[in-house]
Amino acid sequence: MTEATPARRRPPTIHDVAREAGISRGTVSRVLQGGHNVSPEALKAVNAAIRKTGYVVNRHARSLVTQRSDSVAFLLTEPQTRFFEDPNFNQLLRGCTTALAKHDIPLLLMIAGTEEERRRIGRYITSGHVDGVLLVSSHSGNPMVELLDEARMPVVACGKPLGHTSTTPYVAADDNEGARAMVRYLLGTGRRRIATITGPLDTPGGVDRLNGYRETLAEAGLPQDPALVAEGDYSRAGGEAAMTALLAAAPDLDAVFVASDLMADGALAALEQAGRRVPEDVAVGGFDDSTIAANTRPALTTVRQPWDRISAEMVRVLQSLIAGEPPASVILPTELIVRASA
């Protein structure tokens, strides 16, 4: 209150740099673009002038002429609570932010929870305020997918978007093979009555992991018993409920493959409640290797999703899309992490 607040000075412009370097603004700009067609002396003078003036490019001015925003939206379309409780979400968000930062591209976080938000965000995105979209949504029939597709927006999804005619490129872990690895491991430890708690069956992780489970049992010559399959919703409470249901339907189960760590944590609670020891009576395998996996009791044997690679690939694919290259999806291998629960 006592000190006068000096107005923030206007930052130096390309004009200041040009004057300082004693050359034209066009040449300064050329240096900024990579220094092609610029003499070594000019290059040197400009760089010195930039350092001296503390020049930083004005992105608005640049964007106005290039018609690119050099920014990217990270768009959440899931019902809000779900994803904001999911430890995977944080890893993905952090990974994408970091990967983009390396290219000096800011990430705009957008949450399209309500219909109104969807409209506003749709308008914002399709008006050229971002160059592309990192799309996070797992449930099928997401209206944003169609909208973005029609607007010809470069989009890459996290996980294969289900229930669309459009073919949005995506990046995902190999859900099927991850599930197979886990079930093979459980079989290898002598388990024969292996149950599963799936993710929602309108999500790729729900479907593909269930298929991996089924195929592996079939290959081992084991029967498909409907009593051994329960659908969860990726929440802890959902995992607990599903486990309770499984114990009622198939009291003789000796293992359970759970399609997410969070649900597995809930399953552990249900098993404890039922007086089953883990892993002695029932082996429990999770999926994700999220931050909670090492903290469950017992610590969770699980399938690691390579979130660092997933987010890095999402950014890479999106940038290639923005550059006009044709789309391509990528599937990344998972890794079995053995701890105490199986």
- Report the nearest approach of its own copies to the CB of residue 311 (Å): 12
Look at residue 41 and give the partner it binds from its own copies, DNA, none, a contact being a CB closer than 5 to 8 Å depending on partner kind: DNA
Look at residue 33 and give the partner it binds from DNA, its own copies, none, a contact being a CB closer than 5 to 8 Å depending on partner kind: DNA
Look at residue 250 and give the partner it binds from DNA, its own copies, none, a contact being a CB closer than 5 to 8 Å depending on partner kind: none
25 or 214: CB nearest DNA: 25
1 or 64: CB nearest DNA: 64
57 or 331: CB nearest DNA: 57
Look at residue 5 and give the partner it binds from its own copies, DNA, none, a contact being a CB closer than 5 to 8 Å depending on partner kind: its own copies
Look at residue 35 and give the partner it binds from its own copies, DNA, none, a contact being a CB closer than 5 to 8 Å depending on partner kind: none
Interface residues with its own copies (CB under 8 A) are: 1, 5-6, 8, 10-11, 56, 58-61, 63-64, 67, 69, 71, 74, 80, 84-85, 87, 89-91, 93-94, 97-98, 101, 104, 106-111, 113, 117, 120-121, 123-124, 127-129, 151-152, 236-237, 269, 291, 295, 297, 326
Look at residue 6 and give the partner it binds from its own copies, DNA, none, a contact being a CB closer than 5 to 8 Å depending on partner kind: its own copies
Q: What is the 3-state secondary structure (H, E, C) of the chain?
A: CCCCCCCCCCCCCHHHHHHHHCCCHHHHHHHHCCCCCCCHHHHHHHHHHHHHHCCCCCHHHHHHHHCCCCCEEEEECCCHHHHHHCHHHHHHHHHHHHHHHCCCCCEEEEECCCHHHHHHHHHHHHHHHCCEEEEECCCCCCHHHHHHHHCCCCEEEECCCCCCCCCCCEEEECHHHHHHHHHHHHHHCCCCCEEEEECCCCCHHHHHHHHHHHHHHHHCCCCCCHHHEEECCCCHHHHHHHHHHHHHHCCCCCEEEECCHHHHHHHHHHHHHCCCCCCCCCEEECCECCCCHHHCCCCCEEEECCHHHHHHHHHHHHHHHHCCCCCCCEEECCEEECCCCC
53 or 211: CB nearest DNA: 53
Look at residue 123 and give the partner it binds from DNA, its own copies, none, a contact being a CB closer than 5 to 8 Å depending on partner kind: its own copies
Cβ 197 vs Cβ 256: under 8 Å: yes
44 or 277: CB nearest DNA: 44
53 or 98: CB nearest DNA: 53
Interface residues with DNA (CB under 7 A) are: 10, 13-15, 23-27, 29-30, 32-33, 36-39, 41-42, 55, 57-58, 61-62, 64-67
